[in-house]
């Protein structure tokens, strides 16, 4: 099923309505859809490199808007779905502790999920469920998604199709390693 969805998403990149498809995929991926907008962005930018930064802009704006929708899902449905599940398992108190810790470092969680392969939708919904400050969530989302999508656009604009394999296979790993090094640096500064 995922492969069929992936192929369908790739097919959208060749459509004359590709920019609208990208806007839709970027929006829904931030809250429920399993296929990232990068899958559409890459062939679109390779086909029209002069539009690379417009494509990245559309992906960024729609992804952040979709993140706000994911936040709403977490905030609106936590009381009706999440809270009863926590009560059933006797985890209400432990969630309160998690919620406090998450809100202390939530901006970092949003930034990390926004640029790495970690599912951003999980963080958008969790941010709403824990009541992370909406302005903090939106700013962190905007920074993370813009960094991710504009970096992809810049690489494809500069290097074209030959960089495609690197982006599809290694860019997520590179972002993850950079974040790990950044966190390690903060830990080293704090404890050394």
Between 79 and 184, name the one with better pLDDT.
Answer: 79
Long-range (24+ apart) CB contacts under 8 A made by 41-46 are: 41/149, 41/152, 41/153, 42/13, 42/152, 42/156, 42/164, 42/167, 42/168, 43/10, 43/13, 43/14, 44/13, 44/18, 44/19, 45/152, 45/153, 45/156, 45/157, 46/156, 46/160, 46/161, 46/164
Q: Tell me, what's the pLDDT at 190?
A: 66
Q: Tokens 């790739």 identify what position? A: 10
**CA-based angle 70:73:76, to the nearest 5?**
145
Confidence check: pLDDT of 161 > 80: no
Distance, CA of 3 to CA of 122 (rounded, Å)? 21
- 69 contacts 31 by C-beta, under 8 angstroms: yes
What b/e sequence results for 151-170 when a residue is b if at least 16 CB atoms lie within 10 Å of its CB, and e otherwise?
Answer: bbbebbbeeeeebbeebeee
Stretch among 25-29, 150-154, 183-187 having the lowest mean pLDDT: 183-187
Task: Tell me the per-residue pLDDT of 42-85, one tens digit each, with 9 for 90 and over.
Answer: 888 888 889 999 999 999 999 999 999 999 998 998 888 777 77
In this structure, are residues 110 and 144 in contact, taking their beta carbons and an 8 Å threshold? yes
**In the block, residue with structure tokens 């590179």:** 174
Question: What does the pLDDT read at residue 3?
Answer: 66
* DSSP category for residue 80: I
Q: Give me the residue spans of the domains in the chain.
A: 2-191
Residue 93's pLDDT band, with cuts at 50, 70 and 90, is confident
Note the pLDDT tens digit of each residue in 24-44. 999 999 988 878 888 888 888
Q: How confident is the model at residue 192 (pLDDT cuts 50, 70, 90)?
A: low
The chain-wide mean pLDDT, for the chain, equals: 83
Answer with the residue of higher pLDDT: 55 or 97.
55
pLDDT (tens digit, 9 = 90+) per residue, 98-137? 888 888 888 888 988 888 777 888 888 889 999 999 999 9
């Amino acid at each position: 099923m995922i492969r069929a969805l992936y192929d369908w998403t790739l097919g959208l990149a060749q459509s004359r309505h590709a920019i609208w498809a990208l806007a839709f995929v970027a929006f829904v991926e931030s809250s429920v859809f399993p296929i990232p907008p990068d899958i559409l962005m890459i062939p679109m930018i390779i086909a029209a490199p002069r539009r690379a930064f417009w494509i990245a802009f559309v992906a960024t704006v729609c992804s952040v808007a979709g993140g706000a929708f994911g936040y709403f899902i977490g905030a609106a449905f936590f009381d009706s779905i999440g809270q009863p599940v926590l009560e059933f398992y006797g985890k209400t108190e432990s969630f309160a502790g998690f919620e406090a810790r998450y809100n202390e470092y939530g901006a970092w969680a949003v930034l990390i999920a926004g640029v790495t392969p970690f599912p951003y939708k999980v963080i958008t919904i969790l941010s709403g469920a824990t009541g992370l400050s909406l302005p903090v969530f939106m700013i962190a989302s905007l920074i993370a998604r813009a960094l991710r999508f504009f970096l992809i656009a810049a690489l494809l604009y500069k290097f074209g199709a030959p960089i495609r394999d690197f982006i599809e296979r290694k860019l997520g790993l590179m972002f993850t390693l950079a974040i790990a090094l950044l966190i390690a640096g903060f830990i080293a500064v704090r404890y050394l």
